[in-house]
Amino acid sequence: MTRGPLAGADGLMRCPWPGDDPLYVAYHDTEWGVPEYDDRALYEKLILDGFQAGLSWITILRKRDNFRRAFDDFDPAKIARYDADKVAALMNDVGIVRNRAKIEGTIGSAKAWLKIQEEGPGFSKLLWDFVGGTPKVNTFKTTTGVPASTPLSVKISKDLSARGFKFVGPTIVYAFMQAVGMVNDHLVDCHCHATCGQMKKPARRSAAPAKRAPLRQR
């Protein structure tokens, strides 16, 4: 189905995919497509996009705070040292997506991230050099025109895979590129299209080691 921007309750035109879910709308308006240059934050988003495979992003978004608590705020230095007991604990954590391959892939990707940080050029520079350091701005009018992957996402996927990253297929990588602003895929008539390159992400809360609250039933 061809879908163009939709007017929200506030009168603003938006890409259609967040619907009227307040959490999804806030993510669309303040995070998706805003350029991210922080090495650790980029690792977190790549991992979460890998966990999304086979699911909807809103499912991951609703569990994001749980993921941050479970995975030590996505600190690659800590994750790289996870052992079998930690993997078992994560497999029993109902607050996250319990997929052993993805959990073990997160550990492998943390080790690959650390190697890039130690040997250069750094994860952020590695990724952003693929687009010349600045976002590629697209002008799609409907979601039909937005690709699932591109030759560039294939290239990045192969590079990351060769470095030891897991769950970084071309489709996952392109979703990641959209989310972190390497490409601006807000529809051209969406109110964020013209401004997301100048926006700053809201300050994120660090995952506290507090007792996990029970999940709300969906």
- What is the pLDDT at residue 120? 85
* pLDDT bucket at 201, cuts 50 / 70 / 90: low
- What is the pLDDT at residue 202? 66
- What is the pLDDT at residue 198? 76
**Residue 28 in marked binding region:** yes
- What is the pLDDT at residue 5? 86
For residue 213, with 0-12 CB atoms within 10 Å meaning exposed, 13-18 middle and 19 or more buried, which class applies? exposed
Buried-exposed string 87-117: b where 16+ CB fall within 10 A, e elsewhere: eeebeebebbbebeebbebbbebbebbbebb
**Residue 190 in marked binding region:** yes
Is 2's pLDDT higher than 90?
Answer: no
Mean pLDDT confidence for 155-167: 98
* pLDDT bucket at 3, cuts 50 / 70 / 90: confident
Between CA 111 and CA 122 the distance in angstroms is 13
* Side-chain half-sphere CA neighbours of 164 within 13 A: 13
Share of the chain above pLDDT 90, in %: 84
What are the chain's domains?
Answer: 22-184 (1.10.340.30)
Quick check: 64 and 70 in contact, CB under 8 A? no
Mean pLDDT confidence for 133-144: 95
**Residue 192 in marked binding region:** no
* pLDDT bucket at 29, cuts 50 / 70 / 90: very high
For residue 38, with 0-12 CB atoms within 10 Å meaning exposed, 13-18 middle and 19 or more buried, which class applies? middle
Between CA 46 and CA 180 the distance in angstroms is 9
**Residue 186 in marked binding region:** yes
- The 10 Å Cβ neighbour count of residue 40 is 16
Mean pLDDT confidence for 177-187: 97
